Chain A
Amino acid sequence: MPLPYSELVMEHFRHPHNVGRIEDADARAIEGSPACGDMVAVYLKVDPETQRITDIKFESYGCASNIATGSIITELAKGKTLEEARQITWKQASDALGGLPPIKAHCSVLAVDGLRAAIENYEERHGLVKEREPTTVEFVRRRLKHVMNPVTGLDVVRTKLVQEIEVADGVVRVVIDLPADHQFANNIRDEIVEKLGHRWDVKQVNVVFTE
């Protein structure tokens, strides 16, 4: 079949591992992308002594790459400590799947974000977090590393699409070096708003495109 997906991706899509819900989970998180519409829910059971993930499950409302990444990321995280699991990157997930098409990066990065969000959820519930982190230029840059450039499958920071970041009085302004009528302009804008718009100290997110 002339699909852009590898055999491994299709295998995980057809028969995803660790699918379902843990009813008495120690932590859970749902990450969603209004831009593409995909959603991933991640559920964790954690050994409080060792901080190891003893069980993990996911649910997906998404495309094949989203489902396959949910499957592989839960496999990778199982048995790891929270600290180790937090280090798992989209690149590792993609490699473990034999590569994902660049245009699908943003659907699959959701599963990675879902895992991290579930770990944060655990830390919050168990009093392991420090102060709420304020939204700074550095923070914005870090978040933007999770916004994928569908042309290359790499994030918008690494591909130098982010020209400028400003944070002032709760207003975040991001200048993206693409024309406003670029094929993926709307998609990238929605993703950026979604990554930052819900922050406790952010009132507004403006994404500006260069001409």
Chain B
Amino acid sequence: MRFVDEFRDADKAHALAAKIAALCEPGRSYKFMEVCGGHTHTIYKHGLEDYLPEAITLVHGPGCPVCVIPMGRVDDAMHLAARPDVIMTSFGDMMRVPGSQGSFFDAKASGTDIRMVYSPLDSLKIARQNPDRQVVFMAIGFETTAPSTAMTMLRAAAEGLSNFSVFCNHVTIIPAIKAILDSPDLRLDGFIGPGHVSTVIGCRPYEFIARDYRKPVVVAGFEPLDILQSIYLLMLQLSAGRSEVENQYSRVVPWDGNVVALKAIGETMELRPYFEWRGLGFISHSALRVREKYAAMDAERLFSVPGVRVADPKACQCGEVLKGVLKPWECKVFGTACTPETPIGTCMVSPEGACAAYYNYGRMNRSRVPEAARAGQS
């Protein structure tokens, strides 16, 4: 494991903690949002908050694709799956997400033909094998999974396959960040930018955050030292009065993203006027739908979908958690009525959800490393 050590070196972590602490201005507090659920996971898993001074708070953002799917869309998908001529196919992560009438797993248990797939290409194969049924792919995810759906649609079109369609729920990260920036609830000082999404979209789409909102953005990798270094870069920018987009994860993320992937998305999908996000409400131009040109592959055009808006369960405070207004454990049902085994809210479903990460690594009792504890004292 010599490779991994360079990302996990405890001495380096303590050195970064000291450098971060040294940049804290006395009396000032800092709030950074990590947008991506993968980062949330690393932060909890490695107890990274213990390396930060009290003045720095990490706020967990909406970057968990399963977590932001509203109940109404789950119900719509369930409605499609219930048709006898349809085989519904879905990623495993989606199977436990509760709709108002239960989850895909519940429906499957009572006989609905819902099949778990690893890739949309597996759905395509099921379509080839079942020419007399319509195979619908439940497409979810940010820009990390949208290219796969797009490439699969292009492949289906090239093959002339007529029984494959997509129930498109792809969302885009930038409008969600903008909604959070415009939200009066929250004052943020900077963003730890998502790693894998940026592989596709690159770093340029974040420039408006630095330019118009004057907040620094650092696109970060998933290792503990990546995240500490990104926080250090954010603090350096703030202390110098700069707001720029920096790429800490340049070993994987190209500045311009993946052009082939962006082209494939642009060819097959277009922005919806608006889309509902669980907990965040309707956000304009925040999701993708299938383009007219590929209407024959659009499950929403092929079948009637109820499209009814379903309110979240009253007890559930995923919205506040997704906006970073509440910490997971401050939710009324956290760890009691809502657990990873029996989730009420989506944040508890995915391991990248803030609640599940917190539940699994429960870090209620914090003790800061000495370097972080000394912050603000000179």
Judge: A and B partners, yes or no: no
